[in-house]
């Protein structure tokens, strides 16, 4: 899929073939057009009406119209707003997302939304917002499934329609790796962290990958930095998982490879350990039995660690 900006030079009209494509895309979304009231007759959307609507959008220098193509065919479009007219609103907006009904349920809407988020993320924006018409529960279900959360209700500026406002933080992707060290009795070493976003939690030794590192290489380096143990290496892959938190002041979505290995029961030690723990926000460490993991009062990363270790041993 290719996402391209629609550009129309000042004083020029949208080329006829392109206008026909965009008009057909609008007309095909009959259910949405009937709900929105954007056009006088949702059953008879005309090229001149679409051209006028696009001209109004493009008259705002902060607005961008993006066309999504797959194998040369127009399959969707999205309208974005880099700066909301309300000066108190710091976030960019997604104003409209249309996907050709002929290719619904193929993931194109999610891919378009993700591409828009990537564009805003690359521009240094921290979150994105959108408004869903309150008479459109299908759209609300789609956007919440994409990770957007309801933050309020308001009427839109154009037609005074009641809307639900949603927002999503734009997180930076981060790759990481960890190692579950299991002692002869089956207990596992966990480190206690305090994070500005998620609070106090327990996690396996590990952290973010450096440039060019494989997950296994990063897991080995992190294990040695955070425990001081140079005689252990990551064993088989236990699981992979993703989660959100704030790293060095930046909201991230972290994808982790978690490995497992056996080792003796001992305390982390080494001359560089205190500095490494201070830099990573590590408060303390502890060996946990499976029963203790199942009853932990504070969050444990990754979730279901006790079950994963049971399955590994069996």
* Cis peptide upstream of residue 122 (ω within 30 degrees of 0): no
DSSP category for residue 13: P
Q: Which of 169, 193, 210 delimits the end of a domain?
A: 169
| Structure confidence at residue 249 (pLDDT) | 84
* Cis peptide upstream of residue 139 (ω within 30 degrees of 0): no
Q: Which of 135, 169, 203 delimits the end of a domain?
A: 169
| 90 and 219 both lie in a single domain | no
Where is 52: in which H helix or E strand?
helix 47-58
Average pLDDT over the chain, rounded to whole? 94
| 76 and 178 both lie in a single domain | no
Using CA atoms of 270, 274, 276, 280 in order, give the dihedral in degrees to the nearest 10: 140
Sort strands 250-262 and 237-247 into parallel, antiparallel or unpaired: antiparallel
Percent pLDDT > 70 in the chain is 100
| 37 and 82 both lie in a single domain | yes
| 13 and 162 both lie in a single domain | yes
For residue 124, pLDDT over 90 is answered with no
Predicted model pTM: 0.70
């Amino acid at each position: 899929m290719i996402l391209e900006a629609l550009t129309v030079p000042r004083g020029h009209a949208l080329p006829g073939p392109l206008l026909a494509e965009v008009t057909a895309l609008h007309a095909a979304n009959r259910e949405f057009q009937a709900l929105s009231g954007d056009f006088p007759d949702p059953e008879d959307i005309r090229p001149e009406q679409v051209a006028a609507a696009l001209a109004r959008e493009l008259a705002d220098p902060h607005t961008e119209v993006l066309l999504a193509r797959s194998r040369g065919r127009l399959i969707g479009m999205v309208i974005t707003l880099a700066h909301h007219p309300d000066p108190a609103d710091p976030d960019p907006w997604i104003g409209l997302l249309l996907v050709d009904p002929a290719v619904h349920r193929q993931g194109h809407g999610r891919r378009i939304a993700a591409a828009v988020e990537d564009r805003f993320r690359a521009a240094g924006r921290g979150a994105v917002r959108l408004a869903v018409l309150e008479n459109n529960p299908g759209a609300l279900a789609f956007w919440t499934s994409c990770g957007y959360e309801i933050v309020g209700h308001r009427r839109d500026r154009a037609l005074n329609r009641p809307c639900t406002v949603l927002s999503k933080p734009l997180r930076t992707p981060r790759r990481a790796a960890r190692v579950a060290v299991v002692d002869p009795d089956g207990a596992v070493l966990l480190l206690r962290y305090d994070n500005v976003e998620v609070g106090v939690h327990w996690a396996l030794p590990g952290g973010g990958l450096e440039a060019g590192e494989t997950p296994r290489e990063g897991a080995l380096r992190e294990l040695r930095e955070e425990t001081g143990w140079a005689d252990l290496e990551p064993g088989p892959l236990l699981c992979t998982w993703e989660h959100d938190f704030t790293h060095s002041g930046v909201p991230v979505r972290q994808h982790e490879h978690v490995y497992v290995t056996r080792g003796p029961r001992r305390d982390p030690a080494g001359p560089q350990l205190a500095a490494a723990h201070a830099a990573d926000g590590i408060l303390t460490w502890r060996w946990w039995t499976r029963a203790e993991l199942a009853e932990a009062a504070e969050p444990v990363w990754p979730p279901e660690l006790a079950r994963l270790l049971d399955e590994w041993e069996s």
